[in-house]
């Protein structure tokens, strides 16, 4: 195995060790003997240094013309394009997703960076008529200040781009804590921003764990706002802290996403969509299709098709181009998924595929779980209600569209939902009645595009949404200022006059 790389924090334009000098290891989940890096294990002192750096850099960066900020980000996008293959391979090695998905992860960051670079010339407000003569009225977008950005491991370059790039184009400065499972991907992304010319102090990277880095960032008095993607329990804690400190926040915290398959569906297409939704990224997506709600008339036929497709999936190291599903990201996540499989068995669901770890051949040294399918699942079972975040799919039987939509909506989350049907009326009703932020017609629950807002309803999240422009991320990373200019030369009293 290659010698592990020393991975440092990035504070005030310099790469530095943690003040404690402690480190932790970043491992390849497909082969945990492969130690990729020795990573700075930071604490509140490193956070304090990063926040101070971001605070000092804020005035000059916020006063830099937004089109000029856009030019820097455009250069970053160009660098990402040139390094896509290398970065995609790193995503696969450090996070575990297959190579095609690793490249897609980087492509999403490229798309976001190009898109937000263009927003440097479109950070528009509104000019409206005043109700008084010789007076004008307008609104403008202004940067908020210092942002604390906390990102997950499942999209280790894409999701940081969703948060960092909009924050920067809006004129904010950033303290960035990536997931401890994927610190090297985050480091490479920050290196791109440094090379593109983002000034010292504007982007600061602090590696470490939630208790020792994430919590101090959220609570720091000089952090003005927070954006978080991760578990619902942690997101709820962050929302509570931010609320008590009167900080703006954005949190996106998962889903329990359904695909409804009606009796008039194209079953081959639906099967492909369910396979991609359920087992893409080994089910480790907040948009994963962990529930298939299938009409009773096609229930048995669909299960036969779906099981055969899942059985044929090639599971292994994602660096092998033939692999179709990679490992679970960590031992902790592996144990969580295995525990949910045990819950499903205990609840009485019928296991028809998988249900166990894979420890032989190319999977011998990694954290692999076989594609797992439960049938005869009922809506009250935990495996049908709670987010598992692994390659576990539950199949439920329904008799009509109304029953299907009721089951689809009867969970705590509302991120993504899909329907397969050739009946335009059925799809229209689903589009109207599905309580989710993302709705797909004859497509899987996966496939969001960066030019539209990403997020959901209920316990999926709070605050503005990631991605998109106006109506999306820019609503979180800017604050509104309304300006009235009176050039009448006399006191006018608005509604009184």
Note whether 241 and 359 are same-domain residues: no
Note whether 194 and 322 are same-domain residues: no
* pLDDT score, position 2: 74
Q: Is 189 part of a structural domain of the chain?
A: yes
318: pLDDT strictly greater than 90: yes
Question: Across-strand partners of 439?
Answer: 417
Residue pair 38/5 in contact (Cβ under 8 Å)? The answer is yes
Note whether 420 and 476 are same-domain residues: no
pLDDT in tens, 246-262: 999 999 998 999 999 99
Mean pLDDT on 354-380: 97
71: pLDDT strictly greater than 90: yes
Confidence bin at 351 (pLDDT 50/70/90)? very high
Note whether 98 and 172 are same-domain residues: yes
Note whether 84 and 137 are same-domain residues: yes
Note whether 72 and 101 are same-domain residues: yes
Q: Is 448 part of a structural domain of the chain?
A: no
Note whether 225 and 273 are same-domain residues: no
374: CATH: 3.40.309.10
Question: For a pLDDT cut of 90, what percent of the chain falls above it?
Answer: 96
CA dihedral 64, 68, 74, 79 (to 10 degrees): -70
Mean pLDDT on 448-473: 91
Q: Is 144 part of a structural domain of the chain?
A: yes
pLDDT in tens, 90-112: 999 999 999 999 999 999 999 99
Has 195 been annotated as catalytic?
no
Mean pLDDT on 151-158: 98
Q: How far apart are CA 418 and CA 438, in angstroms?
A: 9
Question: For a pLDDT cut of 70, what percent of the chain falls above it?
Answer: 100
174: CATH: 3.40.605.10
Count of structural domains, the chain: 2
Mean pLDDT on 2-8: 90
**Neighbouring C-beta atoms of residue 42, cutoff 10 Å:** 28
Q: Is 455 part of a structural domain of the chain?
A: no
pLDDT in tens, 118-145: 999 999 999 999 999 999 999 999 999 9
Q: Is 316 part of a structural domain of the chain?
A: yes
Closest residue by Cα to residue 284 from 436, 395, 387, 136: 387
Strands annotated E in 345-494: 350-353, 357-358, 368-369, 372-375, 392-398, 413-414, 416-420, 438-441, 457-458, 461-462, 478-486
Note whether 162 and 127 are same-domain residues: yes
Q: Is 490 part of a structural domain of the chain?
A: no
pLDDT in tens, 268-291: 999 999 999 999 999 999 999 999
Q: Of residues 108, 286, 363, 387, which has the active-site annotation?
A: 286
Domain range for 330 is 257-441
Note whether 91 and 111 are same-domain residues: yes
Mean pLDDT on 289-318: 98
Note whether 273 and 221 are same-domain residues: no
1: pLDDT strictly greater than 70: no
Q: Is 96 part of a structural domain of the chain?
A: yes
Q: Is 496 part of a structural domain of the chain?
A: no
Note whether 475 and 427 are same-domain residues: no
Has 286 been annotated as catalytic?
yes
Closest residue by Cα to residue 239 from 223, 222, 252: 252
Q: Of residues 252, 271, 363, 387, which has the active-site annotation?
A: 252
Note whether 95 and 225 are same-domain residues: yes
pTM (2 d.p.)? 0.96
């Amino acid at each position: 195995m290659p010698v592990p790389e020393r991975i440092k924090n990035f504070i005030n334009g310099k790469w530095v060790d943690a003040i404690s000098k402690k480190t932790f290891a970043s491992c390849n989940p497909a082969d945990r003997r492969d130690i990729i890096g020795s990573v700075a294990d930071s604490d509140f002192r490193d956070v304090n240094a990063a926040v101070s750096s971001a605070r000092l850099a804020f005035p000059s960066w916020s006063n830099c013309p937004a089109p000029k900020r856009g030019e820097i980000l455009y250069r970053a996008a160009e660098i990402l394009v040139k390094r896509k293959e290398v970065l995609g391979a790193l995503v696969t090695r450090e996070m575990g997703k297959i190579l095609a998905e690793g490249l897609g992860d980087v492509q999403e960051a490229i798309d976001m960076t190009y898109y937000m670079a263009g927003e440097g010339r479109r950070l528009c407000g509104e000019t409206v008529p005043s109700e008084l003569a010789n007076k004008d009225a307008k609104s403008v977008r202004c940067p908020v200040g210092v942002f604390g950005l906390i990102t997950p491991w499942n999209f280790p370059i894409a999701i940081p781009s969703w948060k960092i790039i909009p924050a920067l184009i809006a004129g904010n400065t950033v303290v960035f804590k990536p997931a401890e499972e994927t610190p090297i991907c985050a480091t490479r992304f920050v290196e791109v921003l440094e090379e593109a010319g983002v000034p010292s102090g504007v982007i600061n990277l602090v590696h470490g764990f939630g208790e020792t880095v994430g919590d101090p960032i959220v609570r720091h008095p000089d952090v003005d706002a927070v954006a978080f993607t991760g578990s619902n329990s942690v997101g709820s804690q962050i929302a509570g802290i931010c609320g008590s400190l009167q900080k703006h926040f954005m949190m996106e915290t998962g889903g329990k996403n359904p695909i409804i398959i009606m009796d008039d569906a194209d079953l081959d297409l639906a099967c492909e969509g369910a396979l991609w939704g359920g087992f893409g990224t080994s089910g480790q997506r907040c948009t994963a299709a962990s529930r298939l709600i299938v009409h009773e008339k096609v229930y048995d036929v669909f299960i036969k098709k779906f099981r055969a497709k899942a059985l044929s999936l090639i599971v292994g190291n994602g660096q092998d181009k033939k692999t179709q599903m990679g490992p679970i990201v960590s031992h902790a996540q592996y144990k969580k998924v295995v525990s949910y499989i045990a819950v499903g068995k205990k609840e009485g669901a019928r296991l028809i595929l998988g249900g166990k770890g894979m420890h032989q051949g190319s999977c011998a040294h990694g954290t692999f779980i076989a594609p797992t399918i439960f049938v005869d699942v009922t809506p009250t079972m935990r495996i049908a209600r709670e987010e598992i975040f692994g390659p576990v799919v539950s199949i439920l039987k329904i008799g009509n569209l109304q029953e299907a939509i009721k089951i689809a909506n009867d969970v705590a989350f509302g991120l993504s939902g899909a329907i397969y049907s050739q009946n335009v009326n059925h799809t229209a009703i689903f589009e109207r009645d599905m309580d989710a932020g993302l709705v797909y017609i004859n497509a899987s629950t996966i496939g969001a595009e960066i030019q539209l807002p990403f997020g959901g309803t209920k316990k999926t999240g709070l605050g503005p949404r990631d991605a998109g422009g106006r109506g999306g991320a820019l609503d979180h990373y800017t604050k509104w200022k309304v300006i009235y200019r009176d050039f009448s030369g006399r006191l006018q009293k608005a509604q009184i006059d």
